């Protein structure tokens, strides 16, 4: 990486100092270029990197498919245009009863597909209901082994509620105690699919939620995101890999 102290003072965004005024020079990703442009940011735009302190909670929202739980890792990547204003913010920073529409999603194909399945595709209406506490789901897999997963992981497991008449399919998060749940999909990309498979959770598995307990420790992202804001004050989040593809100049 090119140090920020070297002339001509440019480097990947992931190496930029916190709090410094930066100018966007180049984006080496078509997907990210489209994301930045959707936010009104182009070559020459000003931006600032912030420290990694973030509001990292899953959230219950109401979208095109009714009430769903959005994992924190999804919520920080979805930018919402708030109704009746020019304000835009990450979904995870919305306030109770605030509504708007999904303007853009910075995640990859897996995340965008997952959000669409939740009824939260780009241009979908969304109403924020509340933040959710960090909980652990003690789960019986295929009636043989037990595991403990976070509430965010439970929200990424999609399947059928066996024997239920009021709701046929949805997120494992909404599974009832003792109810059999047949896994038909994992919401997200290959990383979460692999992670859950290490627990024995994959398509075709049978799950039974035995108990939900207060989390023994706060659930944190596997990798700390890079927090950025535009000159207009819009905060958004990038992974370290994404931030490495964004070249910026340190302004004196």
Q: Note the pLDDT of residue 4.
A: 46
Distance CA 76, CA 84 (A): 22
Segment 117-128 shows an average pLDDT of 96
Dihedral over alpha carbons 106, 110, 115, 117 (to 10 degrees): 160
Q: Note the pLDDT of residue 232.
A: 78
Distance CA 134, CA 68 (A): 16
**% of the chain surpassing 70 pLDDT:** 92
pLDDT greater than 60 at residue 252 = yes
Going through 29-98 in order, the beta strands assigned E by DSSP cover: 46-50, 59-63, 66-70, 78-82, 88-90
pLDDT greater than 80 at residue 80 = yes
> Mean pLDDT score of the chain, rounded to an integer?
88
pLDDT greater than 50 at residue 144 = yes
Strand order in the sheet with 10-12: 10-12, 246-250, 21-27, 46-50, 226-230, 235-238
Q: What is the pLDDT of residues 185-240, one digit of tens each?
A: 999 988 899 999 999 999 999 999 999 988 766 555 556 788 888 887 788 888 88
And the tokens for 149?
Answer: 């997963």
Question: How would residue 247 be classed by pLDDT, with cut points 50, 70 and 90?
Answer: very high
Domains observed in the chain: 10-53+227-250 (2.30.30.90), 59-131 (no CATH), 135-214 (no CATH)
Segment 83-111 shows an average pLDDT of 91
């Amino acid at each position: 990486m090119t140090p920020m102290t070297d002339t001509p003072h440019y480097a990947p965004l992931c190496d930029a100092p916190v709090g410094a005024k930066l100018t966007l020079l180049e984006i080496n990703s078509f997907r990210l270029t489209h994301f930045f442009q959707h936010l009104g940011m182009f070559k020459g735009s000003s931006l600032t990197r912030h420290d990694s302190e973030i509001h990292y909670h899953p959230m219950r929202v109401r979208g095109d498919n009714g009430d769903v739980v959005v994992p924190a890792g999804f919520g920080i990547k979805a930018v919402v245009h708030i109704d009746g204003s020019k304000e835009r913010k990450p979904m995870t920073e919305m306030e109770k009863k605030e509504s708007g529409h999904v303007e853009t999603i910075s995640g990859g194909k897996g995340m965008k597909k997952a959000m669409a399945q939740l009824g939260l595709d780009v241009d979908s209406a969304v109403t924020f209901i509340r933040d959710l506490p960090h909980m652990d789901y003690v789960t019986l897999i295929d009636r043989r082994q037990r595991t403990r997963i976070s509430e965010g992981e439970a929200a990424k497991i999609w399947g059928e509620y066996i024997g239920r008449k009021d709701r046929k399919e949805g997120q494992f998060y909404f599974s009832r105690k003792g109810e059999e749940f047949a896994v038909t999909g994992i919401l997200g990309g290959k990383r979460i699919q692999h992670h859950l498979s290490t627990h024995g959770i994959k398509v075709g598995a049978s799950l039974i939620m035995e108990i939900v307990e207060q989390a023994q420790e706060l659930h944190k992202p596997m990798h700390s995101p890079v927090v950025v804001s535009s000159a207009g004050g819009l905060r958004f989040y990038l992974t370290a890999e994404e931030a490495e593809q964004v070249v910026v100049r340190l302004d004196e």
